[in-house]
């Protein structure tokens, strides 16, 4: 059975995409740790990040860095954090999160019922920042 991320990538479930290329996508978390929390996900369904080939891992990190730059512009956080946890969905994904402090990477603080309008606004801010940075992979 396909992972929830594969179903989002394939359009079977909705997602607020901000980036698409031939190897990965990035979309907002439905349970954000902070406004703008974005997931960078390979199109290939690979459970554990240590099983990624080096080229794909490098690409995911480069995209996460670009997303982080957009979050920095769009949200002006103290820092942009990144983590790979992967326990909740068996499909590698990188969390890229605007942070005020390390507590912003605590999964127990996730918003389990975010306002859809706030998620849409966050996605729009990220897309605008990515476009300003010259990235053609931005989605609408």
134 Cβ partners below 8 Å, 6+ apart? none
* 99 belongs to a structural domain: no
Beta strand 38-42 with 94-99: parallel, antiparallel or unpaired?
A: antiparallel
* 70 belongs to a structural domain: yes
What range defines the domain where residue 136 resides? 1-22+37-48+55-92+106-140
Give the pLDDT confidence of 61-101 residue by residue, as tens digits. 999 999 999 999 999 999 999 999 888 899 999 999 999 99
CATH number of the domain residue 121 falls in: 3.30.428.10
**CA separation for the pair 26, 130 (Å, rounded):** 12
Beta strand 24-28 with 38-42: parallel, antiparallel or unpaired?
A: antiparallel
Catalytic member of 37, 91, 93, 135: 93
pLDDT band at residue 53, thresholds of 50, 70 and 90? very high
pLDDT band at residue 140, thresholds of 50, 70 and 90? confident
Give residue 40's pLDDT.
98
- Give the number of domains in the chain: 1
* 32 belongs to a structural domain: no
Residue 103, pLDDT above cutoff 80: yes
pTM above 0.75, yes or no: yes
Mean pLDDT computed over every residue of the chain: 96
Residue 55, pLDDT above cutoff 90: yes
* 63 belongs to a structural domain: yes
Give residue 85's pLDDT.
87
* 1 belongs to a structural domain: yes
Give the pLDDT confidence of 109-118 residue by residue, as tens digits. 899 999 999 9
* 129 belongs to a structural domain: yes
* 28 belongs to a structural domain: no
Give residue 84's pLDDT.
95
Give the pLDDT confidence of 1-49 residue by residue, as tens digits. 789 999 999 999 999 999 999 999 999 999 999 999 999 999 999 999 9
93 assigned to active site: yes
Tokens linked to 120: 């849409």
Q: Which of 102, 101, 88, 96 has the alpha carbon at shortest distance from 122?
A: 96
* 62 belongs to a structural domain: yes
Give residue 87's pLDDT.
85
């Amino acid at each position: 059975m396909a992972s929830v991320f594969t179903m989002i990538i394939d359009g079977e479930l909705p997602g607020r995409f901000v980036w698409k290329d031939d190897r990965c996508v990035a979309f907002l978390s439905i349970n954000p740790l902070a406004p703008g929390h974005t997931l960078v996900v390979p199109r290939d369904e690979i459970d554990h990040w240590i099983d990624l080939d080096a080229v794909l891992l490098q690409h995911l990190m480069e995209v996460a860095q670009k997303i982080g730059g957009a979050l920095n512009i769009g949200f002006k956080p103290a820092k942009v954090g990144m983590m790979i946890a992967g326990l909740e969905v068996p499909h590698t994904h990188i969390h890229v999160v605007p942070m005020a402090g390390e507590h912003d990477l605590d999964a127990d603080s996730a918003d389990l019922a975010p306002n859809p309008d706030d998620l849409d606004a966050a996605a729009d801010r990220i897309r605008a920042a990515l476009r300003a940075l010259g990235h053609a992979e931005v989605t609408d």
